[in-house]
Amino acid sequence: MKIALRDTSQQADGPDWEWIGTFEDQGSFREADGRCFELIDPVLLPASRGRNAGSKTYTFRTSELRGLAALVHERVRNDVHELPLVTLSDTFPYRSPAGACFACEEDDIDGDQRRESAAGCCRYCPDVFVGRLDAPELLKHNGGHILHDERLRDVGDACGLCLSSTNGCVIYLVCKGKYTTISLEKSKCVNLQQFRLGQAAKFTRSSPCTNHPMRCVLCPDNAPAVWKYNLQSHIVADHPRANVALYEKQYKISADKVVLMRGVYLSKPKMKKKKKGQLTISEGHSTRMAIGPLEETESTADDSEKDIESDQGDISSAEVLEGEAGKAAAPDVEEQEPDEERVDVAASGQWWKIA
């Protein structure tokens, strides 16, 4: 649903967000997993804006929304790529005068560059920001990982756009006239974008990557596409009775292409400059604010230890006083028994004479 601030003060007395009577793209959430949702019981108050102005509407507090965002993020943090994609709009991400609200961030993230790194970097290159790569550069960079990264040696279904190997990341193709393109409606990928398949499949020395989604002739017509660099592994795993050699022309990569892709893997891709006007994250509405530092409290055990130390301190003081008194009496003893060998020993706060 579309919500907006109803109270922009620093310390709001009540709910400071309200539903304005409309929704974001509802189709994006039809197949969302149940763990992406959390039931809440909002307060009903008269709306101050939107279609339902004057009528009662759902209202929310910033602290509650921050907590809900942190809770849901913790559930899906390892499967973010499976979340539905929502089109950027004037109301989403939710806005405040300070910027975009309820960004799901780690507790130690600080600064725009580190924030961008956590949210949109390559899975294996923390200094490569996916958002600054155009489609050819992204395919080329990820293709280098698929062919030469030891961490993907046993991964036979890495996505060419995000390098994920889970079933939640799928690419579907659709025919539009004479051309075959990616279906943005059915496909799911955190880095999903449209690009020309023919151009992606074409080899040049400056762009040696030919990895692109393609139809597997052994799969049903409505099956997801298979990336070229994964086709051989796909046939072996999903079509074990098929003769892999019959399809070698579709997946084989020549030696010179492999060598050139090795150079791509070892080099840093060309990234576009950061666009001006990108959304600023509102620090006060970040999920990092949902969990504050725990206040240090003294435990009962600590109190007991302090009491014991205090008692011991009192005893030590008494011993010193009694000891001083003993020292004062010692000269009289020496005068009475000068021939005895004497050793002064402190025991239980008393001074003793040992022959």
Averaged over 15-35, what is the pLDDT? 80
pLDDT at residue 247, as a whole number: 94
pLDDT in tens, 232-259: 999 999 999 999 999 999 999 999 999 9
Q: What percentage of the chain exceeds 90 in pLDDT?
A: 32
Of 8-12, 71-75, 149-153, 197-201, where does mean pLDDT reach its minimum? 8-12
What is the rounded distance in angstroms from the CA atom of residue 270 to the CA atom of residue 267? Answer: 9
pLDDT at 304 over 60: no
Please state, as a whole number, how many other Cβ atoms lie within 10 Å of the Cβ of residue 214: 20
Domain locations along the chain: 2-104, 130-266
Averaged over 33-52, what is the pLDDT? 86
> Distances from the Cα of 18 to the Cαs of 14, 25, 316, in angstroms?
11, 18, 66
Token pair, residue 282, equals: 């509102």
> How confident is the prediction for the chain on average, in pLDDT?
76
Of 63-77, 130-144, 303-317, where does mean pLDDT reach its minimum? 303-317
pLDDT in tens, 260-293: 999 999 988 877 665 555 667 777 777 766 655 4
Please state, as a whole number, how many other Cβ atoms lie within 10 Å of the Cβ of residue 16: 19
pLDDT at residue 272, as a whole number: 67
pLDDT at residue 112, as a whole number: 43
- Identify the band that residue 296 occupies on the pLDDT scale cut at 50, 70 and 90: very low
pLDDT at residue 26, as a whole number: 65
pLDDT at residue 245, as a whole number: 93
- Output the CA torsion sign for 201, 204, 207, 208: positive
pLDDT in tens, 167-189: 678 999 999 888 899 999 899 98
Q: Which of 21, 38, 147, 31 is nearest to 102 (CA)?
A: 38
Assess contact for 76 and 47: CB atoms under 8 A. no
pLDDT at residue 276, as a whole number: 54
pLDDT in tens, 86-108: 777 778 888 888 888 888 766 54
- Identify the band that residue 10 occupies on the pLDDT scale cut at 50, 70 and 90: low
What is the 3 state secondary structure string of 39-64?
Answer: CCCCEEEEECCCCCECCEEEEECHHH
Buried b / exposed e over 134-163, threshold 16 CB at 10 Å, is eebbbbbbbbbbbbbbeebeeebbbbbbbb
Q: Which of 111, 46, 38, 113 is nearest to 70 (CA)?
A: 38
Is the pTM higher than 0.75? Answer: no
